[in-house]
């Protein structure tokens, strides 16, 4: 088999028999997690082959395995070891059922409840699905197991062990034909869903609101029902094209396990095709059905930031609805550049913003927003809430339209009231209807075109005062 055809892949414990031989210790394993709720894993093992047919079992695979993605190959002798068959199998979970309990209680006094009736006596035997009792008069009763609603042991055996049901085992099976014998280095690979990672950022804004500190964590959520121990972790950020699965398994139980903050965990970043690859510099455990946090990038200090106020003029229907409050947005913006002590690819994730009033004060939460994948040298803009002391009031002064002539002319007035004890600048944005030609016939303030359909006014509002913006627009189609 050609190595270029092979996947990267996940890891689990392996049992091999080549006539029946056991596998050696795992040499290395790695877990590559994509932020699209799936992972690819590799595991390298040594196996003792015999010439001829060999059967290999790969046990305890993830419940969410994509069986069509499985790969097995012999690294040392790829041409001499040939795969004949490959299958994915699952065992039936073993439970301690009623008949097993009764079988271990022969000779004890039991009570069987069948509907409104009960049978009591000494348990003589359990044959197939029938339970045989002898009462105190020596009478024999034969009761069918499927009619018994409940049982009670009068004197339960102290040695009787009630064990938790064994979970179903999932495994992969290969039938291989080998021209070589002895130890060979091999690799097993498959893809699994329900394992994901997300970046979480914590931003601490200084009291002067001119700089911030950025730290980051990676949250890995493993819902595959399989633990990955001492694995090398790699994370891939980017929009991966993948065919949508027909079904998806859900798991509700989750335990939160946070890595120690003092541990020097840091990811090394590299490019992978059109994506970005982050490699944890040490191996770690990813337990089954748990969420674990790992320290991500090196904290960035003294990042210059700008707080801006934005008022977006809403569509006309917004102002005709009751109980709708207009507002001025508060945004934080900064450059993701080396000159600004950043300049690294930022994977999509949630950014939480805190602020300290002074060095002795505990940080206070002031808002959060999500970012998409952000390349270096791009600007980050975070909407963190609405201004309390800056109040807008929009009025549609005039409106004239003619569907036959295909035009609409409107006059707008926006009053901005500033209750703060400092001057502010509010950016007023007006977005025109798509697929229309537009023109600003007159305005009280200068404006700039933000994009093909949006204009922006920069409006200064003095402390404890108000400023009014007026403008007239013409749209044709």
Q: What is the pLDDT of residue 135?
A: 86
% of the chain at pLDDT higher than 90: 40
- Per the model's pLDDT, the better-predicted residue between 4 and 441 turns out to be 441
Q: How far apart are CA 218 and CA 349, in angstroms?
A: 9
Which range of 275-279, 284-288, 302-306, 398-402 scores highest in mean pLDDT? It is: 302-306
Average pLDDT over residues 83-90: 86
Q: What is the pLDDT of residue 4?
A: 36
Average pLDDT over residues 139-162: 73
> Worst-scoring range by mean pLDDT, 159-173, 178-192, 453-467?
159-173
pLDDT at 165 over 70: no
Q: What is the pLDDT of residue 257?
A: 34
Q: What is the pLDDT of residue 322?
A: 54
Rg of the chain (C-alpha set): 34
pLDDT at 259 over 90: no
Q: What is the pLDDT of residue 144?
A: 85
CA dist 360 → 356, 357, 363, 400 (Å): 8, 8, 9, 59
pLDDT at 74 over 70: yes
Average pLDDT over residues 77-93: 83
Average pLDDT over residues 108-127: 85
pLDDT at 234 over 70: yes
pLDDT at 409 over 60: yes
- Per the model's pLDDT, the better-predicted residue between 110 and 51 turns out to be 51
pTM of the model: 0.68
Q: What is the pLDDT of residue 26?
A: 43
pLDDT at 413 over 60: yes
CATH number, domain 390-476, options 3.90.350, 1.10.150, 2.60.40, 1.10.3470: 2.60.40
Q: In 3D, which of 200, 234, 325 has the Cα closest to residue 9?
A: 234
Cβ-contact 221, 254 below 8 angstroms: yes
Q: How far apart are CA 459 and CA 476, in angstroms?
A: 27
Q: What is the pLDDT of residue 39?
A: 92
- Per the model's pLDDT, the better-predicted residue between 304 and 121 turns out to be 304
- Per the model's pLDDT, the better-predicted residue between 393 and 128 turns out to be 393
pLDDT at 136 over 70: yes
Reported as a single tens digit per residue, the pLDDT across 44-56 is 878 888 999 998 8
Q: What is the pLDDT of residue 250?
A: 36
pLDDT at 260 over 50: no
Domain boundaries 98-153, CATH class: mainly beta
Q: How far apart are CA 474 and CA 411, in angstroms?
A: 9
Reported as a single tens digit per residue, the pLDDT across 11-47 is 333 333 333 333 334 446 788 999 889 999 888 878 8
pLDDT at 441 over 80: yes
Q: What is the pLDDT of residue 120?
A: 85
Q: What is the 3 state secondary structure string of the chain?
A: CCHHHCCCCCCCCEEEECCCCCCCCCCEEEEEEECCCEEEEEEEEEEEECCEEEEEEEECCCCCEEEEEEEEEECCCCCCEEEEEEEEEECCCCCCCHHHHHHCCCCCEEEEEECCEEEEEEEEEEECCEEEEECCCCCEEEEEHHHCCEEEECCCCCCCCCCCCCCCCEEEEEEEEECCCEEEEEEEEEEEECEEEEEEEEEEECCCCCEEEEEEEEEEEECCCCCEEEEEEEEEECCCCCCCCCCCCCCCCCEEEECCCCCCCCEEEEEECCEEEEEECCCEEECCCEEEEEECCCCEEEEECEEEEEEEECCHHHHCCCCCCCCCEEEEEEECCHHHCCCCCECCEEEEEEECCCCCCCCEEEEEEEECCECCCCEEEEEEEECCCEEEEEEEEEEEEECCCCEEEEEEEEEEEECCCCCEEEEEEEECCCCCEEEEEEECCCEEEEECCEEEEEEEECCCEEEEEEEEEEEEC
pLDDT at 94 over 50: yes
Whole-number mean pLDDT of the chain? Answer: 81
CA dist 296 → 35, 214, 320 (Å): 14, 11, 47
pLDDT at 468 over 90: yes
Q: What is the pLDDT of residue 319?
A: 60
């Amino acid at each position: 088999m050609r190595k270029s055809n092979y996947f990267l892949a996940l890891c689990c414990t392996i049992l091999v028999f080549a006539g029946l031989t056991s596998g050696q210790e795992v040499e290395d394993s790695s877990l590559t997690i994509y932020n699209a709720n799936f992972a690819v894993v590799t595991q390298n093992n040594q196996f003792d082959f015999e010439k001829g047919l060999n059967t290999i079992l790969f046990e305890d695979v993830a419940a969410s395995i994509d069986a069509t993605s499985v790969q097995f190959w012999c690294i040392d002798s790829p041409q001499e070891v040939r795969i004949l068959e490959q299958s994915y199998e699952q065992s039936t979970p073993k439970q301690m059922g009623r008949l097993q309990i009764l079988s271990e209680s022969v000779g004890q006094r039991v009570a069987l409840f069948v509907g409104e009736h009960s049978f009591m006596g000494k348990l003589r035997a359990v044959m197939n699905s029938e339970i045989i009792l002898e009462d105190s008069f020596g009478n024999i009763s034969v009761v069918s197991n499927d009619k018994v609603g409940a049982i009670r042991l009068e004197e339960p055996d102290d040695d009787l062990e009630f064990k938790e049901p064994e979970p179903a085992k999932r495994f992969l099976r290969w039938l291989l034909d080998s021209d070589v014998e002895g130890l060979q280095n091999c690799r097993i690979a498959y893809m699994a869903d329900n394992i994901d990672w997300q970046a979480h950022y914590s931003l601490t804004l200084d009291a002067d609101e001119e700089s911030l500190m950025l730290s980051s964590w990676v949250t890995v959520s493993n819902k595959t029902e399989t633990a990955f121990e001492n694995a090398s972790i790699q994370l891939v950020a980017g929009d991966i094209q993948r065919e949508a699965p027909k079904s998806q398994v859900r798991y509700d139980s989750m335990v939160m396990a946070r890595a120690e903050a003092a541990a020097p965990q840091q990811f090394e970043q590299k490019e992978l095709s059109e994506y970005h690859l982050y490699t944890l510099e040490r191996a770690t455990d990813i337990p089954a059905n748990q969420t674990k946090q790992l320290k991500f990038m090196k904290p960035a200090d003294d990042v210059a930031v700008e707080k801006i106020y934005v008022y977006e003029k809403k569509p006309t229907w917004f102002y005709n609805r009751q109980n709708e409050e207009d507002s001025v947005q508060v945004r934080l913006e900064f450059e993701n550049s080396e000159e600004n002590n950043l300049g690294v690819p930022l994977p999509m994730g949630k950014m939480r913003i805190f602020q300290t009033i002074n060095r002795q004060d505990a940080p206070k939460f002031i808002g959060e927003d999500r970012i998409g994948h952000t390349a270096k040298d791009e600007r980050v803009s975070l909407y963190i809430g609405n201004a309390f002391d800056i109040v807008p009031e929009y009025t549609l002064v005039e409106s004239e339209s003619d569907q036959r002539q295909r035009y609409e002319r409107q006059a707008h007035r926006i009053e901005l009231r500033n209750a703060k004890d400092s001057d502010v600048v509010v950016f007023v944005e007006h977005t025109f209807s798509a697929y229309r030609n537009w023109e600003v016939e007159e305005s009280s303030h200068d404006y700039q075109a933000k994009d093909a359909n949006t204009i922006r006014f920069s409006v200064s509002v003095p402390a404890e005062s108000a400023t009014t913006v007026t403008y007239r627009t013409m749209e044709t189609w």
